[in-house]
Amino acid sequence: MSEAEPEKLGAMNVMRDLWRVVSAFKGRIAVAVFFLVLAKLAVVSVPLALKRIVDDMSSPESFVALPIALLIGYALLRFASTLFNELRDLAFSRVTQHTVATYAQKTFTHLHALSSRFHAKRRIGGLLPDIDRGTNGIAFLLGVGLFTLIPTLLEIGMVVGIMTARYSDWFTVILAMTFLVYCGFTVVFTQRRAIVQRRVNRLDSNAKSLLADSLINYDAVKYFTNERGESARFQHIMDNWAEAVVANQRALFILHVGQSSIIAMGVASVMLLAGQFVLTRTMTVGDLILINAYVIQVCLPLNALGFVYREARDALVNAEKLFQLLREKPEIAEAPGLPALKVPRGEVVFDNVIFAYEPARPILHGVSFRIPPGGTVAVVGGSGSGKSTLARLLLRFYEVGGGSVSIDGQDIRSVSSHSLREAIGVVPQEALLFNDTIAFNIGYGRSGAGMDEIIAAAKAAHIHDLIDSLPLKYDTPVGERGVMLSGGEKQRIALARAILKNPPLLIFDEATSALDTASEQAIQKELDQLSANRTTLVIAHRLSTVVDATEILVMERGRIIERGTHARLLDQNGAYARLWQLQQRADDSEQLVREMQSSMQG
């Protein structure tokens, strides 16, 4: 398959997908096409009226009165062409805007349907420009593209038909040759330019990705005083982008000059031939004006046709990424119509679970355990042992490679993911807050929750008094990722959100590990209250937070190496006991430092 064939297939797929959306507006499209035809008939009739006026006024023997009807008709035809074009745009406007909105919505929904693996690898700074360019490309293809291409071809066909019927075939030959040469030149050079345009888009996305990534990691840049390095990296991409844009402009210059040269030669040839016929009295001055008007009427749309083809190619290039994104398949293909999860008791069972993020890098090796109804199982271990992976599998962010995960005897693959996640509340290590108000972030736990319920949840999380002391109270904005709040405040809002959701199952994924000891101890009490009588999976960093768990699992390299209660594991004097002793010594040292600081201040 040649390089051009995949591009052609891609363009056909884009247009087919577009037609599926716009076909819901067949009536409006028909009305728009009707006005389009009327507009072009009016445009083509204008030179005919002008020829008649010139011929009547050029003959002294027959010119006895001002041809008022012709002059008024000429003016009305010009007005009609503008009026019908505006009516066409008005009729089609809803189609264009609806289609753009539909694709924006489809993309937004599709991104949320894609797997955690996709979002772990994507770069948000590059993704957003691709979506923006794609929707703009769709708008162009539907609007300017559709209603310039079809009218231009219609107008050229009418003009050529009239000139063929009324004048020498040489005019038709010259116009046909001009059209063919122009189209051939435009297609060849536009295809060459599309390669440069893709490079410009790629570099633009890379620049925006770096910009977003660098600003998101603003603190890290400051920590390592690497502003110059970041600036140099950005400058390198922008230099390449500038060179690509210049190359693109150079290609555009060649295209424009070539198109104008072809049109100029065609116009000159037609006018020279028409002038010759006027001198030999074969044609009148009115005929010369008519042919001149028609040549301009053909060449201007021809130039517009070149512009539209060029811009349509750019629009297709811009839409490519968007349609590639929409064709991205979710990693977990959920069958439609799956039943909702039922949680009468809340028993969770991991049965011989095997999992790997990448085939060459296995994470879990035959992990089995049971969380009894209303019980708490805590998972501890070093980084990379597979603790957090258990939470992701229970939420079905990823599919198990072997074995099964079930809730009350229902394999989670046999129920809808929506109902599964509705039944689980999560308090993560880092509270995930939207750049909105405190009320919005707490209320996000349950759609439609009233303000009284939000306040009750905040009180249960012991954050209400702080919120109430703020000038804007619950309308206080939290900033990007909650940067205007402390770590403890963010965790309490995340806790209030989980309380509001009131789920039968809970996951605490190292929910207090990012906090200082005082904040951790305060929030741990609320976590214990929330997990009372709920089935709870705790991914723990600090062992002091899980001493009361029903069972503690110790993981190492994707396997459970010890299990039991806190007391039993200490009696075994194994990995858990060693980890406990290390943390106790660290806690003792921290307590000693605090006491020394307190005595020095005293």
**CATH code for residues 430-502:** 3.40.50.300
Helix, strand, or coil (residue 456): helix
Domains 102-327 and 341-423+505-602 share a fold: no
H runs (alpha helix) in 461-548: 464-469, 487-501, 517-531
Q: What is the mean pLDDT of residues 558-562?
A: 89
Confidence at residue 5, expressed as pLDDT on a 0 to 100 scale: 45
Q: What is this structure's pTM? A: 0.63
Confidence at residue 2, expressed as pLDDT on a 0 to 100 scale: 44
Higher pLDDT, 284 or 555: 555
Q: What is the mean pLDDT of residues 568-593?
A: 76
* 473: alpha, beta or left? (left if phi > 0; alpha if psi -120 to 50): left
pLDDT (tens digit per residue) in 453-474: 989 888 888 888 888 888 888 8
For the ranges 63-67, 246-250, 401-405, 423-427, the lowest mean pLDDT is seen at 63-67
Q: Given a cut of 70, is residue 584 above it in pLDDT?
A: yes
Q: Would you state the structure tokens that stand for residue 372, as one six-digit string?
A: 């009894």
pLDDT band of residue 313 (cuts 50, 70, 90) is confident
Q: What is the mean pLDDT of residues 263-287?
A: 78
Q: Residue 67, exposed/middle/buried by CB under 10 A (0-12, 13-18, 19+)?
A: middle
Helix, strand, or coil (residue 14): helix
Pick the CATH number of 341-423+505-602 from 1.10.1200.10, 3.40.50.300, 3.10.20.600, 3.30.310.50: 3.40.50.300
pLDDT (tens digit per residue) in 432-441: 788 888 898 8
Confidence at residue 1, expressed as pLDDT on a 0 to 100 scale: 40
Phi, psi at residue 361, to the nearest 5°? Answer: -135, 80
For the ranges 50-54, 368-372, 380-384, 410-414, the lowest mean pLDDT is seen at 50-54
SS (H, E, C) 478-492: CCHHHCCCCHHHHHH
Q: Given a cut of 80, is residue 120 above it in pLDDT?
A: no
Confidence at residue 281, expressed as pLDDT on a 0 to 100 scale: 75
Higher pLDDT, 572 or 219: 572
Phi, psi at residue 300, to the nearest 5°? Answer: -65, -50
CATH topology of domain 102-327: ABC transporter transmembrane region fold (1.20.1560)
Give CA separation, 75 vs 56, 295, 554, in Å. Answer: 17, 20, 89
Rg (CA), the chain: 36
Beta strands 551-556 and 402-407 are: unpaired
Q: How far apart are alpha carbons 456 and 436 in whole angstroms?
A: 20
Q: Considering only CA atoms, which of 548, 526, 234 is closest in space to residue 376?
A: 548
Q: Would you state the structure tokens that stand for residue 547, as one six-digit string?
A: 């001493």
Q: How far apart are alpha carbons 234 and 582 in whole angstroms?
A: 45
Q: How far apart are alpha carbons 202 and 205 in whole angstroms?
A: 5
pLDDT band of residue 519 (cuts 50, 70, 90) is low
The listed range with the strongest mean pLDDT (6-15, 28-37, 206-215, 311-320) is 28-37
DSSP line for 70-83:
HHHHHHHHHHHHHH
Q: What is the mean pLDDT of residues 37-64?
A: 68
Q: Given a cut of 70, is residue 590 above it in pLDDT?
A: no
Q: Residue 383, exposed/middle/buried by CB under 10 A (0-12, 13-18, 19+)?
A: exposed
Average pLDDT of the chain, as a whole number = 78
The domain limits of the chain are 102-327, 341-423+505-602, 430-502
Q: Given a cut of 80, is residue 167 above it in pLDDT?
A: no
Confidence at residue 4, expressed as pLDDT on a 0 to 100 scale: 46
Q: How far apart are alpha carbons 133 and 585 in whole angstroms?
A: 57
